[in-house]
């Protein structure tokens, strides 16, 4: 088994462009969520998003390429450029590959083009429309500009696309298809079409009056997630071949699996899991009123109880083992937790 290390990173995010800027802002507690500025969202039920701000693609890309690309491709390209520069990689074309992860490709370009077409007197669609909406073109543009001739793949697995891009890149290296891989994830789906759908599914937060506090994934008052956009990239290499750097982060493990249930059953499980969490919270409050110092301990108990409840229903052995591992680690972190809660 090869030891795979990360030698370069790139980021284009709602709280900063560039890894250093991103890290500085995230550690300072900055929020990238605000009222949507890229189009008029005043008539939408959801009017907030995590948009990439102060973004001028001409600062990073050739103007000719900008005209040919969707924003998600631009985010991918810029993140990849930063990651490659940071890695100081001398590319060996046939031993270097790229994996792109994107869920919805150029959906915003499709939506805005159709909207313009429907209201136009002269029905025209530009010749660059198709290349701008294809997911694999993002990887192709990066590969062309950097003479990458190894494996070139694009994965589209919803919210897991970026993570699966890393996983696929590592698999290409473990099987000997490449010595170096560029793993990229990018998305730009901000348009009324997507927001209407997710809002009607009651998936998005509607805290339009408080964008900066709308994303609260583990809060009891959570009312949905916040849609966003951006791109990230990693250069991963075989540690035995890396001689130009002394210390690098390591990819310890990677993998993917699928839960063989319908979406309806999946969301039913989530509803049951939420009921489990609420039951645990009620039980804890009945046993004793927690002080602020005990809050962390109670959160860990709730997570452990919820994970173990979900484990009993999981049909996938890999997922089951993963949940058990998390539950065990949480139990170790709270050894003195109240015994009145059964795991």
Question: What is each CA distance from 296 to 46, 147, 191, 299, 334, in whole angstroms?
Answer: 32, 50, 38, 5, 9
Dihedral angle computed from the Cα positions of residues 107, 108, 111 and 112, in that order, rounded to the nearest 10 degrees: -150
pLDDT at 338: 43
pLDDT lower than 70: segments of the chain? 121, 243-343
Token readout for 334 is 């709270």
pLDDT at 220: 82
Token readout for 117 is 């077409």
Task: Match 């993570």 to its residue by tokens.
Answer: 163
pLDDT at 281: 59
Check if the beta carbon of residue 22 is closer than 8 Å to that of residue 15: yes
Question: What is each CA distance from 237 to 83, 160, 283, in whole angstroms?
Answer: 12, 22, 49
Can you give the three-state secondary structure of the chain, one letter per residue?
A: CCCEEEEEEEEEECCEECHHHHHHHHHCCCCCCEECCCCCCCCCCCCEEECCCCCCHHHCCCHHHHHCCCHHHHHHHHHHHHHHHHHCCCCCHHHEEEEEECCCCCHHHHHHHHHHHHCCCCCCCCCCHHHHHCCHHHHHHHHHHHCCCCCEEEECCHHHHHHHHHHHHHHHHHCCCCCEEEEEEEEECCCHHHHHHHHHCCCECCCCCCHHHCCCCCCCCCCCECCEEEEEEEEEEEHHHCCCCCCCCEECCCCCCCCCCCHHHHHHHHHHHHHHHHHHHHHHHHHCCCCHHHHHHHHHHHHHHHHHHHHHHCCCHHHHHHHHHHHHHHHHHCCCCCCCCCC
Check if the beta carbon of residue 233 is closer than 8 Å to that of residue 221: no
**What's phi and psi for 235, nearest 5 deg?**
-100, 120
pLDDT at 136: 95
Q: In a 10 Å sphere around its CB, with 0-12 CB exposed, 13-18 middle and 19+ buried, how is residue 154 labelled?
A: buried
Token readout for 31 is 């929020």
Partner residues linked to 250 by β-bridges? 5
pLDDT at 341: 38
Measure the CA–CA gap between 132 and 72, rounded to whole angstroms: 9
pLDDT at 124: 81
Check if the beta carbon of residue 81 is closer than 8 Å to that of residue 162: no
pLDDT at 213: 94
What is the phi-psi region of residue 16: left when phi exceeds 0, alpha when psi lies from -120 to 50, beta otherwise? left
pLDDT at 343: 38
Angle at 219 between CA 313 and CA 285, to 5 degrees: 80
Q: How many residues does the chain have?
A: 343
Q: Nearest to residue 182, comparing CAs of 252, 70, 93, 69?
A: 93
- What Rg value do the Cα atoms of the chain yield, rounded? 22
pLDDT at 210: 96
pLDDT at 110: 94
């Amino acid at each position: 088994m090869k030891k795979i290390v990360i030698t370069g990173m790139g980021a284009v995010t709602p709280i900063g462009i560039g890894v250093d800027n991103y890290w500085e802002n995230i550690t300072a507690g900055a929020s990238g969520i605000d009222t949507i500025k890229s189009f008029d969202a005043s008539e939408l039920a959801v009017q907030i998003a995590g948009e990439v701000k102060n973004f001028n693609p001409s600062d990073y890309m050739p103007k000719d390429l900008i005209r040919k690309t969707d924003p998600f491709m631009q985010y991918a390209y810029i993140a990849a450029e930063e990651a490659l520069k940071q890695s100081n990689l001398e590319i060996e074309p046939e031993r270097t590959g790229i994996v792109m992860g994107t869920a919805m490709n150029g959906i915003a370009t499709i939506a805005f083009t159709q909207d313009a077409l429907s209201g136009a007197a002269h029905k025209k669609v530009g010749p660059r429309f198709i290349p701008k909406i294809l997911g694999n073109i993002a990887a192709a543009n990066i590969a062309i500009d950097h003479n990458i001739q190894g494996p070139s793949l694009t994965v589209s697995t919803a919210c897991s696309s970026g993570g699966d891009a890393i996983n696929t890149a590592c698999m290409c290296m473990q099987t000997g298809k490449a010595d170096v891989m560029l793993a990229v994830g990018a998305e730009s789906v901000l348009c009324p079409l997507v927001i209407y759908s997710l809002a009607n599914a009651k998936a998005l937060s509607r805290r339009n009056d408080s964008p900066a506090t709308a994303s609260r994934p583990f809060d009891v008052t959570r009312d949905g997630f916040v849609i966003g956009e951006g791109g990230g990239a990693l250069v991963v290499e075989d540690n035995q071949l890396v001689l130009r750097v002394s210390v690098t982060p390591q990819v310890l493990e990677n993998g993917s699996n699928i839960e063989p249930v319908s979406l309806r059953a999946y969301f039913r499980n989530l509803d049951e899991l939420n009921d489990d969490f609420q039951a645990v919270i009620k039980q804890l409050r009945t046993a004793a009123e927690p002080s602020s110092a005990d809050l962390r301990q109670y959160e860990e108990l709730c997570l452990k109880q919820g994970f173990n409840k979900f484990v009993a229903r999981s049909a996938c052995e890999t997922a089951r083992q993963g949940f058990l591992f998390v539950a065990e680690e949480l139990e170790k972190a709270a050894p003195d937790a109240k015994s009145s809660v059964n795991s």
